[in-house]
């Protein structure tokens, strides 16, 4: 168990941004990714459903791949299901909320932090709760940006449509005088250029993918697990659509290797 691969999962392919960050920080690790492409989006679903889906995926990763640790790359799942997963499974499970919140708190100077994510993540208040635990004097301004996910999926990352959508969502946060913006969704790092253009150079943008990879690297010892090596990645999804490879490459930044389809409802 302790020398198995690290499992990483997301509601779809967005979590490949986290895989990319982990591969950069832990190139020697064996990684197994599961993307729930048949059931995305999680961002609009109820907490009960998110918990059920998340547990099925961890069960699959444990049973099939004997993973030694799990990284929940999905913000919505981290927000709603982390506690339930930790109560159910013995394997160490790392979500993206705490690393992202920690990074935002380290970066802010005026203590005014903007958080953007799916409707589910924002509704859960997981980010403000964590930020305030780490920095009780902080002011957190949250906003759901549901149109960012389809924009990223369609590859509309820059240009007039993306900019107009970003302005609509982010202008109110600028009025709140935020100096830090936390991207609390797997898909948003793809829109970073557009987001940066809209918020301007004075707002620091924090990405939970990078921070999660860093926390994973520092925590591996505490988890009591060993490097599995040699570095490799294996990919599973619950649905293989026609556009799958193009989308995966967009999030991963390089062509994806072999991908297997899993009937996840079985777990
Ligand atoms: N992976 C989700 C997240 O980070 C975004 C996509 C979805 O709604 O499932 O919250």
* Chain center to CA of 117: 10
- 145 as an active site residue: the answer is no
- Residue 186: CB within 6 Å of ligand 1? yes
**What is the rounded CA–CA span in Å between residue 128 and residue 86?**
21
pLDDT of residue 109: 98
Cis, bond preceding 234 (omega within 30 deg of 0): no
How far apart are alpha carbons 93 and 75 in whole angstroms? 13
Candidates 116, 185, 199, 206; catalytic one: 185
Taken in order 162, 167, 173, 174, the sign of the CA dihedral is positive
Q: Are 174 and 205 in contact (CB under 8 A)?
A: no
**What structural domains and CATH numbers belong to the chain?**
6-95+210-266 (3.40.50.1860), 97-208 (3.40.50.1860)
User: How many beta carbons lie within 10 A of that of residue 51, not counting itself?
Assistant: 18
User: Ligand 1: does its nearest atom lie under 6 Å from the Cβ of 68?
Assistant: no
- Cα(186) to ligand 1 centroid in Å equals 6
Q: Is the Cβ–Cβ distance between 6 and 228 less than 8 Å?
A: yes
Question: 106 CA distance to ligand 1 centroid (A)?
Answer: 24
Nearest to 76 by CA among 141, 32, 12: 12
Mutate which of 16, 40, 53, 78 for ligand 1? The one with the most ligand atoms within 8 Å of its CB, which is 40
Distances (CA, A) of 59 to 214, 239, 240: 25, 18, 21
Report pLDDT for 1.
45
Which one is catalytic: 8, 16, 70, 74? 74
The pLDDT tens digits along the chain (267 residues) read 477 899 999 999 999 989 999 999 999 899 999 999 999 999 999 999 999 999 999 999 999 999 999 999 999 999 999 999 999 999 999 999 999 999 999 999 999 999 999 999 999 999 999 999 999 999 999 999 999 999 998 889 999 999 999 999 999 999 999 999 999 999 999 999 999 999 999 999 998 888 899 999 988 877 767 667 678 999 999 999 888 888 899 889 888 988 999 999 999
User: How far apart, in Å, are the Cα atoms of 185 and each of 26, 164, 256?
Assistant: 22, 19, 21
Q: What is the pTM of this model?
A: 0.94
């Amino acid at each position: 168990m302790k020398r198995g691969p690290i499992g990483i999962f997301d509601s779809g392919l967005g979590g490949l941004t986290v895989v990319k960050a982990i591969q950069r920080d832990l190139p020697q690790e064996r990684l197994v990714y599961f993307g729930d492409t048949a059931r995305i989006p999680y961002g609009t679903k109820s907490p009960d459903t998110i918990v059920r889906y998340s547990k099925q995926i961890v069960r699959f990763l444990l049973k099939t791949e004997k993973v030694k640790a799990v990284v929940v790359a999905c913000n919505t799942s981290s927000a709603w299901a982390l506690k339930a997963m930790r109560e159910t499974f013995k394997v160490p499970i790392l979500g993206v909320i705490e690393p992202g919140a920690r990074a935002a708190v380290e970066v802010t100077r005026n203590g005014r932090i903007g958080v953007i994510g799916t409707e589910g993540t924002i509704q859960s208040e997981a980010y403000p709760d964590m930020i305030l635990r780490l920095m009780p004097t902080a002011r957190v301004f949250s906003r759901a940006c549901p149109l960012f996910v389809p924009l990223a999926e369609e590859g509309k990352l820059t240009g007039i449509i993306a900019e107009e959508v970003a302005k609509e969502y982010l202008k109110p946060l600028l009025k709140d005088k935020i100096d830090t913006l936390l991207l609390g969704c797997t898909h948003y790092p793809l829109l970073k250029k557009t987001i940066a253009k809209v918020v301007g150079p004075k707002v620091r943008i924090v990405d939970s993918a990078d921070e999660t990879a860093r926390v994973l690297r520092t925590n591996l010892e505490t988890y009591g697990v060993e490097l599995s090596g040699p570095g490799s990645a294996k990919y599973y999804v619950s649905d293989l659509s026609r556009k799958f490879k193009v989308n995966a490459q967009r999030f991963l930044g390089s062509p994806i290797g072999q991908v297997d389809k899993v009937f996840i409802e079985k777990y």
